[in-house]
Amino acid sequence: MIKIATVFSGIGSVEHALIRMKLEHKIIFACDNGDIEINEDNIICKLNEYPKMDYVNRKKIVDDVYNDSKKTNFVKKTYFENYKISEYDFHNNIKFLDGNQYKNQVDLLVGGSPCQSFSTMGYQKGLEDSRGTLFYEYARIIKETQPKVFLGENVRGLFTHEGGKTLQVIKDVIADLGYTLVEPRVLKAIMYQVPQKRERLILIAIRNDIADK
């Protein structure tokens, strides 16, 4: 059985792929804020008051702020309609997700941080963009959960952004995390019988203790 976890989960395309391939799996956790904007300072202040708070109460503080916004997380709603997951294991915000509670429980971690900062349609500020820095949150979750394998996806523009310097930074971070990166490649949706010309850069890395075997 594959124990999978996702961040920036969306409607769960990877989870759906596992179902279509009839691969037995269990969802360990998922995370997506559904583009709901909240005052994160409120959460930070409350968490700082009790630095030794347990995982359950930390999550309750985050969830309460999102619930108080009176906005519906349609991503979460759709996810729950399609996949089996507990309320506790769906998280609203990667910034406040402590991956230590899931350490060594995940086989495959999947996440594609927001791509606008690398896209040809955006301003291409890369990791300097607040959306781009969410890559570091993804890296933190990798470090904390220690999955056997992780998969990241982003726009093709990441390949050439800043003459390849941005991708090299990402490669260096992956190496520092203790993972062996499979050579990045661009995959085209149309090559897999999907009626789109969508191109995505795919990054797959294997934890060193497994890759060395």
Q: List the catalytic residues.
A: 115
Could you tell me how many residues make up the chain?
A: 213
Given a contact cutoff of 8 angstroms between Cβ atoms, the answer to whether 2 and 15 are in contact is no
Given a contact cutoff of 8 angstroms between Cβ atoms, the answer to whether 18 and 2 are in contact is yes
Packed helices 55-68 and 40-49: angle between N→C axes, nearest 10 degrees:
150
Q: Which two tokens stand for residue 111?
A: 């996440």
Mark 48-58 as b/e (b = at least 16 C-beta within 10 Å). Answer: eeeeeeeeeeb
Q: Which two tokens stand for residue 159?
A: 């390949």
The DSSP 8-state label assigned to residue 20 in this structure reads: H
- Integer angstrom CA distances of residue 42 from 47, 119, 176: 9, 31, 32
Any idea what the Cα angle at residue 116 is, between residues 129 and 42, rounded to 5°? 55
CA 151 from chain center: how many Å? 9
Half-sphere exposure of 209 (CA within 13 A, CB side): 5
